[in-house]
Amino acid sequence: MNTKRSAVLFDKARTVIPGGVNSPVRACKSVGCDPLFVAGAQGCMITDVDGNEFIDFVGSWGPMILGHSHPDVIKAICETAPHGTSFGAPCPLEVELAELVCDSVPSLEKIRFVSSGTEATMSAVRLARGYTGRNMVIKFDGCYHGHADSFLVKAGSGIITLGIPGSPGVPDDIVKNTLSIPYNNIEVLEQTLRDAKLDIACVIVEPVAGNMGVVVPEQAFLQKLRDLTKELGIVLIFDEVITGFRLALGGAQERFNIMPDLTCLGKIIGGGLPVGAYGGKAEIMDNIAPDGPVYQAGTLSGNPLAMAAGLAMLKVLREPGFYQELEEKSNWYVEQLTAITADSPVPTVLNRIGSMMTCFFTSAPVTDFESAMKADTERYGQHFRQMLSAGVWLAPSQFEAAFVSAAHDRTHLQKALEMTESSFKKLANM
């Protein structure tokens, strides 16, 4: 595979961009190669600057549920752009999208748009603290909620892929009010939340963990979390930056029928454009300025291009049968993938829910951060490089999800399965 132009660009990038990338995992260090630079993408295919084509299972880290450059989304952007790209003032599109999102996600009564998932989670936690008058935030080991200071405690994929425990530059005085506990552990959960000395404002959780690889929650765990937070007056925040509109129109909360107090959403609500949102009960949301004392602002919040793209995308997602078709396609693909891995001497565990999945190179079930950390990252790196050479674009980290989109058809999936089978045969002989 010719990658000369990518190599040249990477050399140039390292002289003006830290590490040559604008998000650490893109550097591909954990998979033992240099990054490829993307020239464009269409449907489920991605093309690099050297003209190499790949079947894409990253989907811009999840939001491309319709595939890249969906005609309805592109049309909406093109029709909106001539009228302006940013106003710093209210526009009709943000009202329309807010109504549509609130109508789609069961727990949302009011919503505030921001420009990223990190802004959404950071703002939701500030709101929870302001609403309760308490300080402590509880999160879960291996769950990633963006790069705000208070979240970089036993965080997810980006941190663990680089092999660092947190981040320099985060003062102890900030992280002392964040406590991370094991995911899927009901005993520790109850013990922690019932500790009155902790002064807990909120619990934030990925209802399906997607940043230590896909780890599906036990139904009893999420239900216990909801019951305890409600009993103790603790705000429950679902970080659905990955799962929102991915697992169902109403996200993980619809799929599990468990309603949080606040929900954080990410770039999927903008059709892949830079956008995020947080929302929930009106009683809590009314504490945000200008109605209440909790301050949060953003010049690009409600950006017209992102709002238009989000409206176009959500209208497609709301079409009858969309999620059923995506579920059936994903289920078929994983059944075939499971047959391939089961026939191989290479130990693997395949975790999947809906159209998101992770193949862990380990022999034991992966149910939490500790078990995820037992995966063989070197072997994943070998698999990644073999798949890339064969024309399949996977996440450059063992601790990420793969996504099936509406644009993947049986031809694409069958080719990916053939490449996987070939890769596993090579791995078995290494």
Options 48, 56, 141, 239, the catalytic residue: 239
* Token pair recorded at residue 10: 């990477």
Cα dist from 312 to 9, 71, 73, whole Å: 34, 9, 5
The total of other beta-carbon atoms located within 10 Å of residue 181's CB is: 16
Q: Are 292 and 131 in contact (CB under 8 A)?
A: no
Strands (E) across 318-410 are located at: 349-353, 356-360, 392-393, 402-403
3-state DSSP percent of the chain in helix, strand and coil, to 5: 45, 15, 40
Cα dist from 170 to 150, 183, 205, whole Å: 8, 23, 21
* Token pair recorded at residue 255: 């799929």
The β-bridge partners of 38 are 48
Phi–psi pair at 111, nearest 5 degrees: -140, 150
144 classed as catalytic:
yes
Q: Are 9 and 48 in contact (CB under 8 A)?
A: no
Amino acid type, 226: R
Give the burial string for 188-199 (b: 16+ CB within 10 Å, else e).
ebeebbeeeebe
The β-bridge partners of 278 are 112, 264
Give the angle 287-90-105 at the CA atoms, nearest 5°.
60
Please state whether beta strands 356-360 and 349-353 pair in parallel, antiparallel, or not at all (unpaired). Answer: antiparallel
Options 56, 131, 139, 144, the catalytic residue: 144
DSSP 52-64: -EEEESSTTTTT-
267 classed as catalytic:
yes
Options 29, 139, 154, 267, the catalytic residue: 267
Q: How far apart are CA 14 and CA 26, in angstroms?
A: 13
3-state SS assignment for residue 45: strand
Q: Are 151 and 141 in contact (CB under 8 A)?
A: no
Which residues have a catalytic role annotated?
Answer: 144, 239, 267
